[in-house]
Each structure stands twice: as C-alpha cells, then as structure tokens.
Amino acid sequence: MKVTIVGAGAVGASCAEYIAIKDFASEIVLLDIKEGVAEGKAMDLMQTATLNGFDSKIVGSTNDYSKTAGSDVVVITSGIPRKPGMTREELIGINANIVKEVSSNLIKHSPDTIVIVVSNPMDTMTYLVHKTTGLPKNRIIGMGGALDSARFKYRLSEALECPPSDVDGMVIGGHSDTGMVPLTRLATRNSVPVKAFLSEDRLNQVAEDTKVGGATLTKLLGTSAWYAPGAAVSAMVQAIACDQKKMFPCSALLEGEFGLNDLCIGVPSILGKDGLEKIVEIQLDEAETAKIKESAEGVKKTNALLEL
C-alpha cells in the first residue's frame, strides 16, 4: 500500500504521521513545491519510527511526481490555508489552479489511484477534480464530513460531560461555516438519543459551535487547524487501504441522491478498497432536507466561480 500526500504543510505532515503510526502503508510519499520541506519532514518523521513502533517508509520529494508513481491512494492538501476572518470560499481563485495541476500530475503517474481532496473550498475542489480528470466517481472523495463529525462528537461529549467514545453523530452537507448540517436528531449516547440528556437550546448551541469549529480554531491559531484534519484523512485512507467498509460522511458526486444533482457535498458513504463504494441515502426529516438543499445552493454558487 503506497500513499502519497501532496502538500507537506501542517495538515499534510500531520496526516503522514497518523498514517505511519497506524502502520498499514508500506510507503508514504510527502510532496511539496517548497525546496527541502517534504524531505525534511519525511526524515524527521522517519526518525520517530523506532520510538513509535512503525515500519512504513516515508519519502520526501520537492515537486518530483515520478516518486509518487503507483500510489494506491493520493491525498491533496496543497493550497493556501485560511487566515483569521477568511471563509473557505475565498480561497477558490488560488487553490483551484493548484488542485487542477496537482491532480493532473498525480494521475499521470498513478492512473488507478483513489483521490482524497482536502484543499478548500473542499466540496468545490472535489467537484473540480471530477470535472477535469475523468476518473470514475467512486475514486474521487472529499474530506470534510469526517472532520466535521469528529468536531460535532467533541462538542456533544463536552455538553453531555461524557467520554467522546460514548457519543455517535454525523454532519452532512457542505464543508462551510453556513453549509454544515449536524444531525442532532440522530445523535446518540450509547444508543440513547442525545435529546434525552440535552435541551433543544443546548443541542442548537452544539450544532452552531460545530459549524464554526474551523473558524474558531483559525482565530485561536492564526491559521487552519491540522491535528484533527490530519487524523480525519488518515482514518479515511485506512478505511480504503484495509477495506474496512466504514461509513463516513464524504463529499461525493451526487446524481439524484437526496434529490440533488451535479455537485459534490457531504453525504453518508461507505469506504473500502474501491474508494467510495456506496452512498447511504438515509431518511431526513423536513427540516434536515431543507437545510441540505440550502447547503447545496451555497456549494453550487461557489462551483459557478470555477473556470471549467
């Protein structure tokens, strides 16, 4: 199992570290445009191998895509991160050109690969990769919902004052501060609906805190977060590499599912060796349906800014 991560910034390096520690990949390639950065981070990570007990080989490369040849899974994190006060949508002009070039170079050397898109605005960048590469839809997946759901579960456990492992919940919709749809109705604590423990006001607060989860961290850190995004990507890569058939909300190209067409947006998906193997069309209530349709309109507005 060979995994390539393009963009050796904080998210890319964090992702490489988590994949290495889980020890399911034989080789991890870190690639970056900045001279020496990927090589340096790869060497630094390799020096933790005996300490963290992994045998994965981590290789760094400055823009040499031949090193990525034969990758089973590729992760695109390249592009500029958010600064405080910026929306993910404001990154589109710069990041669209980067993602287009990167995906083209990766597929040239790994035509059978599965692509995970992390660069923001993520749903639109995932749509761009669908429109410009011609890969089958199951082999292009956007990472947003896995991260948003982890943030949702953190906020739920905080409100419930319980261990995070007690909590289950999911966020669908667009990966944006206004587009996320935390499914509070379906969230549970050990199979018991969370509304048995929390008031409607408290649940609404949890949902709002989840939606601005990224912006909250950007304000505190001065840039985008990296630990949770890296962990979310690594969980998705592992589900594919180990054929786990795990369900994550992922940005998938929709063709009628949930009444939506011709866009990528976060929906429950099964991940396995063939990539995004199935979209799970769960029953939404009236309010949730209205929210995902509104979210889809926002994504389509951002998609309209692409020069396809």
Please give the annotated binding residues, written as ranges.
Answer: 7-12, 32, 82, 88, 95, 118-120, 151
Cis peptide before 249 (omega within 30 of 0): no
The binding site for substrate comprises 82, 88, 120, 151
Residue 68 in 3-state DSSP? helix
Residue 130 falls in the annotated catalytic set? no
Output b/e per residue, 205-219; b: 16+ Cβ within 10 A.
Answer: ebbebbbebbbebbe
Whether the CB-CB separation of 251 and 142 falls below 8 Å is answered with yes
Integer Cα distance of 249 and 171 in angstroms: 7
> Looking at residue 81, what DSSP letter applies?
P
Integer Cα distance of 206 and 203 in angstroms: 5
Cis peptide before 81 (omega within 30 of 0): no
Whether the CB-CB separation of 262 and 141 falls below 8 Å is answered with no
> In whole angstroms, how far apart are CA 140 and each of 97, 101, 119, 229?
18, 16, 13, 18
The angle formed by the CA atoms of residues 106, 270 and 250, to the nearest 5 degrees, is 60
- Per annotation, catalytic residue among 139, 175, 189, 291: 175
The binding site for NAD(+) comprises 7-12, 32, 95, 118-120
Active site residues: 175
